[in-house]
Chain A
Amino acid sequence: MIVVVLPAHLRSLAGIKGDVQLEIEGAVTRHSILDALEARYPMLRGTIRDHVAQERRPLLRFFACGEDVTHEPADAPLPAAIADGSEPFYIIGAIAGG
């Protein structure tokens, strides 16, 4: 079970309380996590990555096991601790104005 931590605005948009738990078959990558997240919560499509280009929105970043994986390839395997759910996958909004 993968654990995903979302920014507060996206939790409220999707009606999520707390963290998200996702089942993922196959390789656990940023790509597969986002696909599973958007399938569970269609209202999040377009909010984390662009509808068409599927590129990350500029003010969002991704962290795994304390490492910034934002600029790693989307299909790169994430650490085992993410894959087994012992560590959450963080989607974080930039602290920029407000």
Chain B
Amino acid sequence: MSNVRVLVGTRKGAFILTSDGKREKWDVSGPHFAGWELYHVKGSPVDPNRIYASQTSGWFGQIIQRSDDGGKTWFQPGTPAGESVTTPEGMPKGESNKFVYDTSPETGKPLTTHQFYDGTPKPWEFKRVWHLEPSLNDPDVVYAGVEDAALFRSADGGQTWQELPGLRGHGTGSQWQPGAGGMCLHSVILDPKSDRIFVAISAAGAFRSDDAGKTWKPINKGLHSQYIPDPNAEVGHCVHHIAMHPANSNVLFMQKHWDVMRSDDAGESWHEVSGNLPTDFGFVIDVHAHEPETVYVVPIKSDGEHYPPEGKLRVYRSKSGGNEWEPLTNGLPQSDCYVNVLRDAMAVDSLDSCGIYFGTTGGQVYASPDAGNTWAPIVRDLPAVLSVEVQTLQ
């Protein structure tokens, strides 16, 4: 029988929630890394026991943690305690928490600045890892989306990290500006059928590489953002999250600052599919595991009021790839609810009856074992939830 393992990152540690295929009774372990912010925790699709975690702190910086036993024990990849931190030749050994932007001349266009909120130039400065995306083929390969926005890759299980500098260097980087949460690369999608990678950056937009991350282009045509000087600009759109069904990698869904968008040509063009949503502001968006046209969002009232409209926590589902949406409320609070659901805090499992999961800034993690028809909280009182990922285990 299959099991599921839900990986939850919060403001004060990580939690691992496990259940059998019925998804009724749950075991909770944690907090792991108590007191630290866990921006993202995600397992390898190749080896589910391999889990990567982004542990971060405004005081002490960035830590990458790894588990090789499904989250029971954790360690920092890189030089073990007690060993020399240099090789016999005097070269530094791997350090899992070291993210250094590539400024080598060989990469062509080493950028020195992006734009600050007020439009003044600001040097790139690493702050934290927002998103970890393990490879679909190799458990030792993992991508990291970071703030200030860049994409890094590790090919040694997180011991060392190298920037994929073609993204920052493709030409528009000097125009990128931070969103309210910082200038973060928060979404990384790997195409199972090709070398294509999609990323999204707040508030720069979406970008695509067709050659495994070497070269990049903006893919924001059709986005319209009234809050920027040129609403149809090539970059500058505050994309909150993007999602793709692995069976149909030409179709992308996007929750933008405002607007829910869809692309049918791998991001070359976008059109709005907000339809009858009560508000098209929000953060999360995800796709059903078995139905590529079934999409989920959690509408949030506005950019100034980050909570559900009318105090009713509603997931909206479209079975037609957008435009026509139905509220899913069974088991969710329908009065006096003023939590938010952050951009990486929704995930789906791949059991026959697809499970949907999301976490809130109020510390609840809700699960639906029937594709959203009914919901129940797994836990109610965690620290504010930053991210939710699910592993379906055989």
Beta-carbon nearest neighbor of A15 in chain B: B81
Chain B residues within 8 Å of A39, by CB: 84-85
Beta-carbon nearest neighbor of B97 in chain A: A46
Mark interface residues in A14-36 (1 if CB within 8 Å of B CB, else 0). 11000000000000000000000
Q: Are A13 and B95 in contact (CB under 8 A)?
A: no
The prevalent SS among residues of B at the interface is loop
| 8 Å CB contact of B95 from A45, A48, A94, A96 | A45
The interface size of chain B toward A, counting residues with CB under 8 Å, comes to 25
Q: Does B180 contact A (CB under 8 A)?
A: no
Chain B residues within 8 Å of A14, by CB: 81
- Say yes or no: A57-B60 contact (C-beta < 8 A), given A9-B36, A45-B95: yes
B161 shortest CB reach to chain A, Å: 11
Chain A residues within 8 Å of B61, by CB: 46-47, 50, 57
Q: Are B58 and A59 in contact (CB under 8 A)?
A: yes
Q: Are A47 and B60 in contact (CB under 8 A)?
A: yes
B220 shortest CB reach to chain A, Å: 32
Q: Which of A43-57 contact B (CB under 8 A)?
A: 43, 45-48, 50-52, 57
The distance in angstroms between the C-alpha atoms of A57 and B79, with both chains bound, is: 22
Q: Does B34 contact A (CB under 8 A)?
A: yes
Q: Are B100 and A43 in contact (CB under 8 A)?
A: no
| 8 Å CB contact of B60 from A13, A38, A41 | A13
Chain A residues within 8 Å of B35, by CB: 8-9, 12
Chain B residues within 8 Å of A45, by CB: 85, 95, 97-98
The distance in angstroms between the C-alpha atoms of A61 and B34, with both chains bound, is: 22
Q: Does A65 contact B (CB under 8 A)?
A: no
- Say yes or no: A94-B81 contact (C-beta < 8 A), given A46-B97, A47-B97, A51-B98: no
Chain A residues within 8 Å of B85, by CB: 38-39, 42, 45
The distance in angstroms between the C-alpha atoms of A38 and B93, with both chains bound, is: 13
Q: Does A60 contact B (CB under 8 A)?
A: yes
Q: Are B83 and A42 in contact (CB under 8 A)?
A: yes
Q: Are B79 and A42 in contact (CB under 8 A)?
A: yes
Chain B residues within 8 Å of A85, by CB: none
Q: Are B78 and A42 in contact (CB under 8 A)?
A: yes
The distance in angstroms between the C-alpha atoms of A39 and B82, with both chains bound, is: 8
- Say yes or no: A42-B59 contact (C-beta < 8 A), given A51-B100, A52-B100: no
Q: Are A48 and B60 in contact (CB under 8 A)?
A: yes
Q: Does B231 contact A (CB under 8 A)?
A: no
Q: Does B295 contact A (CB under 8 A)?
A: no
Q: Which of B335-349 contact A (CB under 8 A)?
A: none
Beta-carbon nearest neighbor of B11 in chain A: A98
Chain B residues within 8 Å of A46, by CB: 61-62, 95, 97-98
- Say yes or no: A43-B76 contact (C-beta < 8 A), given A9-B36, A15-B81: yes
Q: Are A43 and B59 in contact (CB under 8 A)?
A: no
A-B contact pairs, 8 of them (CB 8 A): A9-B60, A12-B35, A42-B78, A43-B63, A51-B95, A57-B61, A93-B60, A94-B59
For the A-B complex with A40-B81, A41-B81, A43-B81 known, give 16 more contacts whose Cβ atoms are closer than 8 Å: A8-B35, A9-B35, A9-B57, A38-B85, A39-B84, A43-B63, A43-B76, A43-B78, A43-B97, A45-B85, A45-B95, A47-B60, A51-B98, A59-B58, A60-B60, A93-B60
